[in-house]
Each structure stands twice: as C-alpha cells, then as structure tokens.
Amino acid sequence: MKLTVQKKSWPLREPFVIARATYTNSDVIVVQLQDGSLIGRGEAAGVDYHGETPDGMLAQLEAVRARIEAGITRAELLKVLPIGGARNAVDAALWDLEAKRSGRRVWELAGVGNEREIASAVTIGIRSVEEYEKTARELAQYRWLKIKVNKEQPLECVRAVRRGAPNSRLIVDANQAWDVKTLYALGPRLAELRVDLLEQPVPVDGDDELVAGQSPIPVCADEAIDTIADLERLKSRYEFVNIKLDKTGGLTAALELANAARAQGMRLMVGCMVTGSIGMAPGMVLAQLCEVVDLDGPLLQAADWPDAIQYDSTGVMSWPSASLWG
C-alpha cells in the first residue's frame, strides 16, 4: 500500500470570525492510500486549539509511514497515531479503500445505513448586529442556522438573526466566551428567541458550576469533548456532545464515542472543522446517529472538490458519490 500526503489550502468565501480567531483560509492535509488500482482518500484540518498544523500532521504521518504502508487496519491505527487530524485523514482513507475493495458504501460497512435525511446548519460568523440580520435574511430558507457570538451583545446578535430568519432553528456558539453566570442569565431570554442549542458557551476549565438541565436551552460540549474518557466528567454538565472527526481521530473512534455517549444518556451533534467535501463525507455517516448536524465546511469555502457534496436551499446534503468518497 502506498501512502501519499499533501497540503491544501481552501480560500474562504469571507473571513470567518469566531470568538477566538479569524480565518481567511482553511489549511488541510489530504491523504491517499493506493492499493493496486484502488485509491482511498481522506481530508483533515486538524484541531488548531490543540496546536495542530498541516506541517505537524505531515510529520506525524511520516513517522509512521512504514507501518501504514505495510497494510494497517483501522483498529491498529488507533494504537499507532494519537487523536487528531492525521489519524482522521488516514482513517477516512481506510474506510474509502475498504468500500472500493468490497463494492459496498461506507454507511453499509458501518452498519448505520443512509435512511435519515441530513440537513446541515450553516454558520454565520461574528459581524455587526446589522450584518447578522442581513445575512440571516439571505439564509432564511435553511432549516438550521448556527450563530457565532462572543461576549459583546450576544442577545442583540441572536435577536437580529431571528428577525432575519423567523423560521430557522438556531444554534448559538460562543466558543467558550461566556461564564456560567452569563449563560444562566441569558438562557431564558434566548429561549424566548427559540434557540434550540447552546454550543460550548463556557470555558472548558470553567464549567464546574454547569449543571445539566439547569439551562432552559440544552447545552452542548464541543471543545470539552474529545474521547470516551471525557464522558464521565461531562455527563452531569452537558446534555449534548458535539463529535468532530478531527477531534476523535476519525470515524472509527467517533462511532465508538457516539455509542458510548448515548449509553450515558447524552444527545448527539456532529460538527466539523472547515474542509472540503472529502472531509465532510465521513461525518455524514456519523450524522445518521445525531440529532443536530453541522457539516457546512464546503459552504464556507470559495471552492470544493470535483463531484462535491451538494446542499439544497434548506441545507439538505446529497450523499457523496462513490467517485468522491466511500
């Protein structure tokens, strides 16, 4: 088996502003695993707040190149590479290659099927209150909108989006910018605006006073959740977990985490880092198990892969073609 790894930079449609950073490009790695005439592909951005970069992920893969090219399995990969983007990209390529070898689609191999229609949220980055409303009007047909906010005027920002998109379901993502006191103060007023979910509103190291069920809006762990080991601490604080393949280190580990979280009574969201459609496709498999879907990376980019996943005007995603992935 031959391993090829490349860096790729996707330009974004507009600067993507969240509470901790502003992005103008999405820098990813692309992995190819070739077995004879068959090629499996994977794409990953890594987790920047864990210090991951494309160069760092490439170095990780070079260090284990011989092991991968000797014919590694997905189970063995979990022991060879740590959680993160490098493992995610190889795991995705292995799933893709297995699908091509077997002539079956990945969702069949994973045992989840593809019966559930997948409607992704689309994200509105931080901007002026006036621009929140304007952008929301342009996206008002989407079933789900995700609103990035910080600690400055969050209620006014959400209210502006609600004016612009009166019927969309709303996720508010503060990327750890609030504290627990602020969350509980804002909760009832955000509930009046029909917000469905609050994503990681408080710092990972500042959620000790968070109590699951105390907010009128369910609270979702994002930066706070990476692996199954985190569930014991989080289950009394958050109702949802946001599972991202770059965080878990691939679809294989993500499916295990999803089943473990559900067994603990937690509800599921699937999220993403910003990548093209090859990076989104494995997340669509996991999405079959999730109530909330945020797989909008390609919508934020100015370009995408050939035979890309398509999104209709409401956010419903087409299943990836076999020529793209899986």
Is the domain of 42 the same as that of 156? no
Residue 41 belongs to a domain: yes
Give me the chain's average pLDDT, please. Answer: 97
Is the domain of 30 the same as that of 74? yes
Average pLDDT over residues 270-285: 98
Residue 306 belongs to a domain: no
Question: The domain that contains 96 carries what CATH number?
Answer: 3.30.390.10
Per-residue pLDDT for 264 more than 90?
yes
Is the domain of 86 the same as that of 188? no
Is the domain of 61 the same as that of 145? no
Per-residue confidence (pLDDT) for residue 135, from 0 to 100: 98
Instruction: Dump pLDDT digits (tens) for 238-257.
Output: 999 999 999 999 999 999 99
Residue 321 belongs to a domain: no
How many structural domains compose the chain?
A: 2
**Cα 70 to Cα 27, 35, 36, 326, distances in angstroms:** 28, 11, 14, 22
Would residue 307 be called left, alpha or beta, if left means φ above 0 and alpha means ψ between -120 and 50 degrees? left
Integer Cα distance of 231 and 156 in angstroms: 33
DSSP 178: S
Integer Cα distance of 227 and 136 in angstroms: 34
Per-residue confidence (pLDDT) for residue 108, from 0 to 100: 97
Is the domain of 296 the same as that of 153? yes
Is the domain of 131 the same as that of 67? no
Residue 102 makes CB contacts below 8 A (sequence gap 6+) with 109
Is the domain of 16 the same as that of 140? no
**Element spanning 283, H or E:** helix 277-287
Question: The domain that contains 278 carries what CATH number?
Answer: 3.20.20.120
SS3 239: coil
> In the structure, what pLDDT confidence band is assigned to residue 20 with cuts at 50, 70 and 90?
confident
Is the domain of 100 the same as that of 130? no
Is the domain of 84 the same as that of 212? no
Phi first, then psi: give them for residue 64, nearest 5 degrees: -120, 15
Is the domain of 149 the same as that of 99? no
Active site residues: 148, 244
Residue 277 belongs to a domain: yes
Per-residue confidence (pLDDT) for residue 254, from 0 to 100: 98
SS3 149: coil
Q: Which residue has the tokens 């580990």?
A: 253
Average pLDDT over residues 294-302: 98
Per-residue confidence (pLDDT) for residue 123, from 0 to 100: 98
Residue 209 belongs to a domain: yes
Per-residue pLDDT for 58 more than 90?
yes
Instruction: Dump pLDDT digits (tens) for 91-107.
Output: 999 999 999 999 999 99
**Cα 189 to Cα 27, 138, 159, 275, distances in angstroms:** 37, 25, 10, 34
SS3 2: strand
Per-residue pLDDT for 74 more than 90?
yes
SS3 99: helix
Q: In what order do the strands lie in the sheet with 38-44?
A: 2-17, 22-35, 38-44
Is the domain of 143 the same as that of 280? yes
The parent domain of residue 195 ranges over: 122-300
> In the structure, what pLDDT confidence band is assigned to residue 19 with cuts at 50, 70 and 90?
confident
